[in-house]
């Protein structure tokens, strides 16, 4: 499973919209959409913010 699938699966399992995730992570909804589509790879900073929003580690 690549990072784009992992982000989407975590978001869907938590019943969050892309907009909700973006707000919780301090990112834009466009960035979340691009991460999930695999057209853009998240930076380490973005991964850290996503991990905090999902309450998971970056391991």
User: Is the Cα dihedral 49, 37, 2, 10 positive or negative?
Assistant: positive
Is residue 35 within 8 Å of 27, Cβ to Cβ?
A: no
pLDDT of residue 16 exceeding 90: yes
Place of tokens 């690549």: 2
For the chain, the domains span: 3-53
- Measured CA to CA, the distance from residue 5 to residue 14 in angstroms comes to 14
Whether the pTM exceeds 0.85: the reply is yes
Question: What is the pLDDT at residue 7?
Answer: 98
CATH class of the domain at 3-53: mainly alpha
Question: What is the pLDDT at residue 59?
Answer: 81
């Amino acid at each position: 499973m690549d990072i784009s699938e992992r982000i989407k699966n975590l978001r869907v399992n938590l019943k969050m919209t892309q907009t909700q995730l973006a707000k919780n992570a301090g990112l834009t909804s466009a960035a979340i959409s691009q991460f999930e589509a695999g057209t853009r790879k998240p930076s380490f900073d973005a991964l850290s913010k996503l991990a905090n929003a999902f309450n998971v580690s970056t391991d």
